[in-house]
């Protein structure tokens, strides 16, 4: 009798696992996928993750607990291997796939400032910024961002709009703005602001705002300091012009404690994927000081697989888990012999 019961239990268990395996294979996605330096990036499928609108999971913190990494890119090109401001397209694509695969939420600077002020922030936030407005930001970076379902903030030297083929033109900027990218001010003339008078600083910043409004149709409320230089007078000018925040070239993670006009960034240069991922793991990945969120790669792959084998789809989750555990204990009792007092 006990042998028959054991066989029945094993058959039921097999059916449950088989059903779940079928649904897992049928509906598998990139969640939990790993990107390694040996992966063929062209074969990584991002399309599935873009088929439906993703729901961003937020956590609530104190505003002074919110830390967000702002990555600072310039040109996305491999034209000059000696220029560390140029990020090779293959590396950039690999980095964007890594961010997407590890469930990061790319925020605009405006969204990030709101998070810093309110404490409501995505579990894994990141800001992707691009300085100067090089044309390869449109021809190379923009398609990769769209494919990956990510968005960036582009700081434009407005005197270069429609005047140089090396920089993005107004049509490119309009298209990007209409598709979720943030177009912001890098001043009109791009000179070191502290070298100019307060009037000259105000003029180049205001001119940048006006050109972006006229040619792109955006109301720019954020600034990237040319060469990262500014003074207290510069900050006063920004405040008077209605600028909400500004980014520097100082290294570090953005935090409201540094001041919204002095947000720090991580300078990006050519690097392998291990070095890129270490930017986040060294800062505990989530960078929100939330102790209940585990860093990347702290959850073993076996744990992910284990949780994925629970029956799902049309089966009610809780009852099936209860039956599953009952079956395990029953099989153990059947095979090992029931303890005294419980024998039939």
Give the mean model confidence (pLDDT) for residues 288-302. 37
Residue 246 has pLDDT above 90, yes or no: yes
Q: How confident is the model at residue 174 (pLDDT cuts 50, 70, 90)?
A: very high
**Which pLDDT value is given to residue 55?**
83
Q: How confident is the model at residue 225 (pLDDT cuts 50, 70, 90)?
A: very high
The sign of the torsion formed by the CA atoms of 214, 216, 218, 219 equals negative
d(CA 110, CA 220): 10
Give the mean model confidence (pLDDT) for residues 262-270. 97
Say whether 202 sits in a helix, a strand or coil. Answer: helix
Give the mean model confidence (pLDDT) for residues 66-90. 96
The sign of the torsion formed by the CA atoms of 110, 129, 99, 144 equals positive
pLDDT tens for residues 84-99? 999 999 999 999 999 9
Element (H, E) at 71: strand 70-73
Residue 187 has pLDDT above 90, yes or no: yes
Percent of the chain with pLDDT over 70: 66
Q: Which two tokens stand for residue 23?
A: 């649904």
**Mean pLDDT over the full length of the chain:** 78
d(CA 138, CA 75): 10
Let me know: does 291 contact 277? Beta carbons within 8 Å. Answer: no
Residue 326 has pLDDT above 80, yes or no: no
Say whether 58 sits in a helix, a strand or coil. Answer: strand
Q: How confident is the model at residue 10 (pLDDT cuts 50, 70, 90)?
A: low
Residue 40 has pLDDT above 80, yes or no: no
d(CA 329, CA 206): 72
Give the mean model confidence (pLDDT) for residues 335-339. 43
d(CA 221, CA 184): 7
Nearest to 193 by CA among 201, 185, 205: 201
How would you class 300 by CB atoms within 10 Å of its CB: exposed for 0-12, middle for 13-18, buried for 19 or more?
A: exposed
Say whether 310 sits in a helix, a strand or coil. Answer: coil
| pTM, to two decimals | 0.70
**Residues sharing a CB contact under 8 Å with residue 106, sequence separation 6 or more, in sequence order:** 99, 126, 127, 128, 145, 150, 151, 152
Let me know: does 29 contact 49? Beta carbons within 8 Å. Answer: yes
Residue 22 has pLDDT above 70, yes or no: no
Give the mean model confidence (pLDDT) for residues 247-276. 96
Indicate left, alpha or beta for 44 from its phi (over 0: left) and psi (-120 to 50: alpha). beta
Q: List, as own/partner pairs, every contact residues 291-294 make where C-beta atoms lie below 8 angstroms and the sequence separation is at least 24, other chains included.
A: 293/59, 293/123
d(CA 193, CA 201): 6
Q: How far is CA 6 from CA 17, 245, 317, in A?
A: 17, 67, 24
Nearest to 42 by CA among 94, 100, 98, 95: 94
**Which pLDDT value is given to residue 216?**
98
């Amino acid at each position: 009798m006990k042998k028959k019961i054991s066989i029945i239990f094993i058959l039921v268990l097999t059916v449950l696992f088989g059903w779940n395996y079928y649904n897992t294979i049928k509906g598998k996605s990139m969640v939990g996928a790993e990107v390694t330096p040996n992966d063929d990036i062209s074969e990584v499928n991002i399309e599935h993750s873009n088929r439906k609108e993703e729901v961003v999971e937020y956590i609530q913190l104190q505003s002074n607990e919110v830390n967000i990494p702002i990555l600072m890119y310039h040109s996305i090109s491999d034209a000059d291997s000696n220029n560390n401001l140029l990020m090779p397209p293959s590396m950039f694509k690999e980095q964007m796939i890594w961010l997407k695969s590890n469930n990061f939420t790319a925020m605009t600077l405006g969204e990030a400032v709101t998070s810093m002020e309110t404490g409501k922030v995505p579990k894994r936030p990141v800001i992707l910024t691009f300085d100067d407005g090089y044309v390869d930001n449109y021809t190379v970076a923009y398609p990769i961002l769209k494919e990956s379902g990510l968005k960036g903030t582009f700081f434009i030297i407005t005197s270069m709009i429609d005047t140089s083929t090396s920089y993005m033109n107004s049509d490119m900027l309009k298209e990007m703005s209409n598709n979720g990218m943030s177009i912001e001010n890098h001043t009109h003339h791009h000179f070191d602001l502290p070298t100019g008078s307060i009037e000259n600083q105000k003029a180049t910043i205001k001119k940048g705002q006006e050109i972006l409004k006229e040619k792109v149709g955006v109301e720019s409320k954020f600034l990237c300091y040319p060469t990262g230089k500014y003074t207290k007078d510069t900050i006063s000018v920004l405040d008077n012009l209605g600028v909400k925040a500004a980014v520097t070239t100082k290294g570090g993670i953005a935090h409201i404690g540094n001041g919204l006009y002095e947000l720090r960034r991580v300078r990006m240069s050519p690097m392998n994927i291990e070095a890129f991922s270490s930017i986040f793991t060294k800062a505990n990945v989530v960078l929100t000081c939330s102790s209940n969120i585990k860093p990347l790669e702290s959850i073993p792959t076996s744990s992910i697989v284990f949780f994925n084998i629970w029956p799902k789809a049309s089966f009610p989750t809780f009852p099936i888990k209860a039956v599953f555990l009952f079956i395990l204990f029953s099989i153990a009792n059947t095979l090992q012999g029931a303890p005294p007092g419980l024998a039939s």
